[in-house]
Amino acid sequence: MKKYLAILLVLIIGFTGFFVYDNYFKPWNEAEERINKYMVEQGVSKDDISKITKEKAKIASYDGILYKVSYKDDPQYEYQYLYSDDIHALYINKVMLQIYDLSDGHELIDREELKNVKYPPIYLDK
């Protein structure tokens, strides 16, 4: 009887550990990997980053993980990288970049405005 109870306890702990990893740690690891890949495509190095904030967010209809990044050599803009499992039709899959001007808070959406930033979205190169 003790042997079956021990096996049951190990199975419960194993399934609980798998559930916790799959729902809490895996999305953050996946977000970091995908956003880093996007930044490499942009030509960003770790030395260029001044500050990063990481948080869960909902933008439009996408739930995901948001990285707010400030760069040393481009301090007038805030770059927001959103990773979401719901985003599929992007160049670097599942990562969306939005750039905000910190002086007035508006989002840069015009192609000409985006050409003035140090690290433009990678689709502008295409």
Q: What is the mean pLDDT of residues 88-112?
A: 83
Mean pLDDT of the residues in the chain: 86
Q: How confident is the model at residue 76 (pLDDT cuts 50, 70, 90)?
A: very high
Q: Which residues contact 87 (CB under 8 A, 6 or more apart)?
A: 62, 64, 93, 94, 95, 96
**pTM reported for the whole predicted model:** 0.80
Residue 60 confidence (pLDDT): 76
Q: Single out the residue of 123, 90, 95, 93 nearest to residue 109, CA to CA.
A: 123
